[in-house]
């Protein structure tokens, strides 16, 4: 029962950390991305995922890494975002990764529009004294896309083989 509870909450906690970290610091820790990958493997073993399923999930994560690394090289995505999307795709597997990419893209578009609109409005001085808010409001700053990536992962987590396996423990 403890393993099931830990398994159900681990991914959401990592997504909350990724989103909040990207919002406040505009970075996503490599340690978080490593933990995301290692925890997938740990839970895959605990929930008796078969080797074929695990390998398909690994292939999905690697495919996403190739795509997102290409976007990073083109300057369209941050490196932490690329690694986070790949780690999330590992958890999703191929069928869900397309749905995940669409959800994250839609949420990222909404997030981007909201931030761009907010940047056209003056902020109260008290808010500008907060470094992370001033940085987020700066038109030269990128968009903390990790928020959308994490939200997309959270939306689809209940459909993953890990979630379903934990529920059935």
Domain with 108 in it: 2-167
- Confidence at residue 140, expressed as pLDDT on a 0 to 100 scale: 93
- Confidence at residue 90, expressed as pLDDT on a 0 to 100 scale: 98
Q: Within 13 Å, how many C-alpha atoms sit on residue 70's CB side?
A: 5
- Confidence at residue 6, expressed as pLDDT on a 0 to 100 scale: 84
- Confidence at residue 2, expressed as pLDDT on a 0 to 100 scale: 77
Domain count, the chain: 1
- Confidence at residue 158, expressed as pLDDT on a 0 to 100 scale: 96
Q: What is the CA radius of gyration of the chain?
A: 17
- b vs e for 67-96, b when ≥16 Cβ sit within 10 Å of the residue's Cβ? bbeeebeeeebbebbbbbbbbbbbbbbeeb
Q: What is the pLDDT along the chain (169 residues), one digit of tens a residue?
A: 677 788 889 999 999 999 999 999 999 999 999 999 999 999 999 899 999 999 999 999 999 999 999 999 999 999 999 999 999 999 999 989 999 999 999 999 999 999 999 999 999 999 989 999 999 999 999 999 999 999 999 999 999 999 999 888 7
């Amino acid at each position: 029962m403890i393993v099931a509870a830990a398994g159900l909450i681990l991914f959401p906690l990592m997504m909350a950390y990724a989103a909040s970290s990207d919002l406040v610091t505009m970075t996503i820790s490599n340690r978080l991305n490593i933990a995301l990958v290692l925890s997938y493997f740990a839970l895959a073993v605990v929930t008796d995922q078969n080797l074929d399923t695990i390998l398909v999930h690994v292939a999905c994560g690697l495919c996403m890494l190739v795509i997102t690394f290409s976007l990073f090289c083109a300057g369209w995505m941050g490196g932490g975002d690329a690694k986070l999307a790949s780690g999330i795709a590992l958890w999703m597997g191929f069928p869900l990764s397309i749905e995940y990419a669409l959800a994250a893209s839609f949420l990222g578009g909404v997030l981007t529009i909201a931030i761009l609109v907010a940047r056209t409005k003056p902020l109260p001085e008290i808010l500008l004294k907060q470094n992370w808010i001033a940085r987020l409001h700066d038109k030269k700053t990128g968009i903390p896309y990790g928020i959308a990536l994490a939200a997309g992962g959270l939306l689809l987590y209940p459909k993953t083989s890990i979630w379903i396996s934990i529920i059935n423990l």
